[in-house]
Structure 1
Amino acid sequence: MKPKIDGFVLGIIAIVILAYLFPFWGSKNSPIPLSLIGSIGVSLIFFFYGLKLSPEKIKTGLKNWKLHLLVQASSFILFPLIVIAIYPFVKTESNHTIWLGFMFLAALPSTVSSSVVMVSMAKGNIPAAIFNASISGLIGIIITPLWMSLFLQQTTTEFNLGSIYLKLITEILLPVIIGIALQRYLGDFVRKNSRYLTLFDKSIILLIIYKSFAQSFEEGVFNSVKLTDLMLIFVAVTLLFILVFFSINKLANTLGFNLEDRITAQFCGTKKSLVHGTVFSKILFKNTVSVGIILLPLMLFHFIQIFIISIIASKLEKQAVAFER
């Protein structure tokens, strides 16, 4: 099985080009209420997420606490500490904005779908992957704004942690809770239509990305970003991924994890959710015109994580098949 370019990655590239060619429709003067559409779409995404989040599976998954602790610590502690270590070397304002994008990437939760799919392909611990990927999104609602508050309050007077949490609760957490409550009635509907719901999720994310980049292009924010900067960001996110991947491997071996748990720890602990990233950026950087630049590291990391993990998962799958024979 050869790794192929994810269709969603191609969609992101296309939507950024569209935002560059037609920025007006995503600007503040646009007659189309993209912010309102995005807010409603986000609430629906997390409502459906709640419908898929089984309380029974979460209770069962709590047993393997060492694995869960390593995955969540990697997502919310290891990643941010690595990026914070670079902070003293940030000198210019443009570099600070790019660094802020890396910090935002580092503070985000793990992604759900691709983590579970890749763990399944590599013959890892699937129940643990489902648990960690699911619970990570809920933890991120609390942790991500806390990490960002340490640095955003220094750059903007409009950053209010209380109002941000209120918006996160009403727009994200409340729909999740309602979804969990209605699971017994609508759970079958979600399972039968998961393909269409995934398409809906990606459409809303692309809409938010379009608005973010269109506004940035309209304001001329990207005029300060050179091709060499873009290449350096790409190299940096690749190195960040590799560093975290091998650090988790070292920690997993130290803790005596078996192969299945080590695969799950590495695959889930190195992933970052583009869904949560675009949604959180809409709330955390509401009045920031440079949100397009802030999202750049996350989008490049999304491509890197899918590409590298798919190669590793494919290799592990072949080894597992050969071993079974």
Structure 2
Amino acid sequence: MMLRKLMPDKFTLALVCTVVFATLLPCRGSAATAFNWLTDAAIAVLFFLHGAKLSREAIVAGATNWKLHAAVFCSTFVLFPLLGVALHPVLGAFVQPWLYLGVLFLCTLPSTVQSSIAFTSMAKGNVPAAVCSASASSLIGIFLTPALVSLIVSNHASGGVSSFSTVGDIVLQLFVPFVAGQLLRPVIGRWIDARKELLRIVDQGSIVLIVYVAFSEAVNEGIWHQLSVSSLLGIVIVNVILLALALVVTTYASKWLGFSDEDRVTIIFCGSKKSMASGIAMAKVLFGTHAGLIVLPVMLFHQIQLMTCSVLAQRWGSRTNAEPLRHGPANHAKLQ
């Protein structure tokens, strides 16, 4: 059972196959131009669906817990970027400069929505607050991520990194479709909710297409001549360090701040996660032809966070309703 939890999920395997396919058959020339148009459309569809799936009722139900949301946002948009910058002397020893830029970009991303809510529910956390916090993080990230990229990523790059001017591109490609989906939810909401499996396929298919185009461009630029096995191992180690630090800080900080057990679960899962869907789409807009190089840390972090949080959520969810979440490193079946 534990081994099954540590195995890559089907979507991650699909992304791996996409990277292999892009390596063997990258799109070039006129085909690349056509695929870039398709990618722009896929990004718009992706964020339209995100907006259409977002329940206003669930947001309102969890919106009053502003202290919890502040803690999640601080972890997502303050703690992570600070960790990425502060760990530069350590991270630089493990990864190449362009991979480190990918790590910094990872640190600026919003929290993921679906898995944060799912793990919070599994671990008996505050689900309405998780819905509100993760959804708000995704929306705010449309504006805040490019701003953070300009502030911290551009300081470590010699070129190819977007500035604040890309906020306009982000608004057109991400925010406008998101708002359109949200505005149309009263009309198409029931249809959307009744076809979650179909929409999941469309959602994941859009990401697969974006990854294919991004890695095709990276292959054409010679990514596999720049990337070694030791570099891949290094980025895995870096991602594990980042996730471990985020989990430790959110665990102990939420206890120190006096949050209830349910709220602490929500803070830990929403505050330690990063959205691969938003990350891949934003990387395509922000970094253009360099996106394939940048999203590799994001893709690896996605799988690491899924494996780790799946184990934690199952263990914490096994406690009885009357049993408190205990504090201390000795009991790994309880929240530290």
Change (3 A) 1:322 1:214: farther
Per the alignment, do residues 52 and 90 of structure 1 end up closer, same or farther by CA in structure 2, a change over 3 Å counting? closer
Distance 2:119 2:91 in 1: 35
Change (3 A) 1:78 1:29: same
Q: How many angstroms apart in 2 are the aligned matches of 1:48 and 1:141?
A: 15
Match of 2:246 in 1: 244
Give, in whole Å, the separation in 2 of the partners of 1:6 and 1:91.
Answer: 30
Assess, with a 3 A threshold, how the Cα gap between structure 1 residues 196 and 137 changes in structure 2: closer, same or farther. Answer: same
Partner of 2:331: none
> CA 1:74/1:91 → structure 2, altered by over 3 Å: closer, same or farther?
closer
Other-structure match for 2:44: 43
Matched residue SS, 2:274: coil
Structure 2 unaligned blocks of 5 or more? 325-336
Count of aligned pairs between the two proteins:
318
Q: Is the Cα contact below 8 Å between 2:48 and 2:181 reproduced in 1?
A: yes
**Mapping of 1:256-275 within 5 angstroms?**
256-275=258-277
1:111-190 mapped onto 2 (5 Å cutoff): 111-150=112-151, 151-152=153-154, 155-156=158-159, 159-162=162-165, 164-190=166-192
Q: Residues 1-325 of structure 1: matches in 2 within 5 Å?
A: 2=2, 3=5, 4-23=7-26, 25=27, 27-30=28-31, 33-87=34-88, 95-150=96-151, 151-152=153-154, 155-156=158-159, 159-162=162-165, 164-288=166-290, 291-320=291-320
Give the TM-score taking structure 2 as reference length: 0.89
What runs of 5+ residues in structure 1 fail to find an aligned partner?
none
1:109–1:276 Cα contact (<8 Å) kept: yes
Q: 1:321, CA displacement in angstroms?
A: 7.7
Mapped to 1, the partners of 2:160 and 2:189 lie a distance apart of: 43
TM-score if structure 1 supplies the norm length?
A: 0.92
Would the aligned equivalents of 1:90 and 1:96 in 2 still touch at CA under 8 Å?
Answer: no
For 2:84 and 2:92, the matched residues in 1 are separated by 15
In the TM superposition, residue 155 of structure 1 has moved relative to its aligned partner by: 2.1
| Deviation for aligned residue 1:18 | 0.9
The answer as to whether partners of 2:42 and 2:210 remain within 8 angstroms in 1 is no
1:142 CA drift (Å): 1.1
**Matches of 1:301 and 1:63 in 2, distance apart?**
31
Deviations 1:39-85 (A, max 9, x none): 11111121122122233432332211111111111011000000111
Task: Give the conservation status (yes or no) of the 8 Å contact 1:45–1:201.
Answer: yes
Q: Distance in 1 between matches of 2:223 and 2:289?
A: 14
Percent of aligned pairs with the same residue?
A: 34
In the TM superposition, what is the alpha-carbon distance from 1:167 to its structure 2 partner?
1.4
Describe the SS at the equivalent of 2:202. helix
